[in-house]
Structures are given as structure tokens and as C-alpha cells.
Amino acid sequence: MDTRQGQGRADGGPRTRVCVVGASGKLGRYMVQHALDRDYEVVGVCREKSVGKLAEFADRITVVAGPTDDREVIGRAVAGCDAVLTVLVPWGVHGYSSGTAQAVLDLAPEGARLVFSCGWHITRDGRDVYSRGFRASVRVVSVLARLVRAIDIDDQVEACRRIFDSDARWTVVRGSDLEEGEGEGLPVWSRHVGDPVLASNITRRTDFALFMVEAVTDDALVHEAPAIVGCRTPSALAHARPPRPHGSQETR
Ligand SMILES: NC(=O)c1ccc[n+]([C@@H]2O[C@H](COP(=O)([O-])OP(=O)(O)OC[C@H]3O[C@@H](n4cnc5c(N)ncnc54)[C@H](OP(=O)(O)O)[C@@H]3O)[C@@H](O)[C@H]2O)c1
């Protein structure tokens, strides 16, 4: 399935075209919905076996089926896109995450906004301060997952290292623990885990997706790795600054 939905905007201008890599997952589907809410033209990439999970969007988006680390698949999907929103997942032990990131970095049109998702465990400058409990849980997940050869967190780290080294217009959004539920609004963010504003460590998944989509038009987030938390959480309410007129609310 690879059919383009190419109609123009009501005001005659071209529609913003975004590709969602990993569109069939929970975060991916929320991102598709938020992008459609903005009247963006959406191309979704997902594994062949997951195409059915996008059925609710069938006549509103273009689906490119295939592994997200397949350069031919990504090349086709990102062609002509203004932005690429990528769910970085550390599945398997064959460089899935780094392969996906590299394909997006290499093949997205020059100047496109590239927004990647990951968790707080990724650090850009080593200045994040993690609680003992957080460090222990990442270590346990990492060791257990490698033992069963299901997940390779080190590969997600490698994926992000390549993104941080890139000259592309990237943002790496670092999610806290996630929960389902009604959206509460745009999460607040800080450059460093350990900042009191992040202490609640919980974000609604739909709001994580909202932040990813909002980043497409928020140039203040270019070359940033925001760690986010829900805007209605106790720590955000206690420590966040008043929001700027436009864009995300940064609290460093
Ligand atoms: N879960 C959390 O608590 C949490 C916390 C902080 C940050 N994050 C970040 O949030 C993002 C989304 O995470 P999520 O946990 O909410 O997951 P999710 O949105 O459900 O996405 C999982 C993705 O992984 C794909 N996938 C599943 N099994 C796979 C396999 N064996 N091989 C290849 N791809 C596979 C899924 O594709 P299919 O639809 O094809 O299965 C889907 O695109 C990630 O970047 C993650 O690092 C998550």
C-alpha cells in the first residue's frame, strides 16, 4: 500500500507533509492523529504485519509497509517530507534502532525537521542526574532484555549518539514514564533529568505525541534533547515557568 493523499490546503498553499516512522505503535498512532488534527499530510511507516493497526486512518494517510531500518522503505516514505517523526525502539539485537535513525538521517530531505522519541535514560551531555532507583531499573531491563535477545538498549544509545553528532535539524524527545488517559496539554521540559520540574516522572502518552508533533514547528527545539513531564503533574505545577506565547514550555 503506497498511495499518496495529495490535496492542497483550503487557502491554496501546500500541506505540510510529515512521515511517522513506527506509526502503528501506541505513540505512533497518537502522533498520526495529532498530525491529522493539524491538517498535515501523513505518511506512516510500519511493519507489514502491523498495517491493520492503522485501519482507523486508512483513507486519510499513506502507509508504507516494511521494517523501519530498511533504507529502501525509509527512502520511499520520507521523500518530499517537511518533517519526520521517528519512534526509536531498541527491539532485537541487530541494530534496529541505530539502523532506523541512520536511514532517517541519511535519506530525509535536506532541511527537514527530524524528531525522534526515546526515554530519560538517554543523555546528551552526561549532566543528567538519575535517582538510584531509575539507574537500577534501566540496568535490570538492559541485562534481562539482552539475555533473552529481545531488546538492546545500547543500540538506542548508539542511535542517539549518531543523531546528536548530525548537522540535521533534529530534536530528541526524552519521555518520562508513560500512562494512558485523556490529553492534559503540552508537556513541560528541561534539558536535564534531575531538574525538580521533572520529579513526578509521568506523562500521558498522547501528550508525548503532542510534544513530538509540536516540535515540527518549534525551532527553539532544534538541536535540543528535551526531557519531558506532564504539564498537570505536581512537579510541573510547582516548578514550571509560565508558558511562552508560542511553542513548548522550557524550564531549565
Ligand atoms: N514505554 C514507556 O514507558 C516509555 C517511557 C519513556 C519513553 N518511551 C519511548 O517512547 C517511545 C514509544 O514507546 P512505547 O513503549 O510507548 O511503544 P509503542 O508506542 O507501542 O511503540 C512500539 C514500537 O515498536 C515496534 N515494535 C514492537 N515489537 C517490535 C519488534 N519485535 N521489532 C521491531 N519493531 C517492533 C512497534 O511496531 P508494531 O506496531 O509493528 O508492533 C511500534 O512501532 C519509544 O521511543 C520509547 O523509547 C517509552
Tell me how far apart the 2 most distant CA atoms of the chain are, in Å: 55
- How far apart, in whole angstroms, are the C-alpha atoms of residue 54 and residue 225? 29
CA–centroid distance, 188 to ligand 1, in Å, is 22
What are the φ/ψ torsions at residue 93 (nearest 5 degrees)? -125, 30
Q: Percentage of the chain with pLDDT > 70?
A: 90
* C-alpha cell, 127: 549532566
pLDDT tens figures, 184-226: 999 999 999 999 999 999 999 999 999 999 999 999 999 999 9
Q: What is the CATH number of domain 17-250?
A: 3.40.50.720
| pTM of the predicted model as reported, rounded to 2 decimal places | 0.93
53 lines ligand 1 (CB under 6 A): yes
Contact 207, 246 (CB under 8 A): no
Which residue would you say has higher pLDDT here, 202 or 91? 202
Q: Which atom of ligand 1 is nearest to the CA of 50?
A: 40
Map out the domains of the chain as residue ranges: 17-250
Q: Which atom of ligand 1 is nearest to the CA of 53?
A: 39
Substitution site in 87, 91, 117, 120 for ligand 1 pocket (most atoms within 8 Å of beta carbon):
87
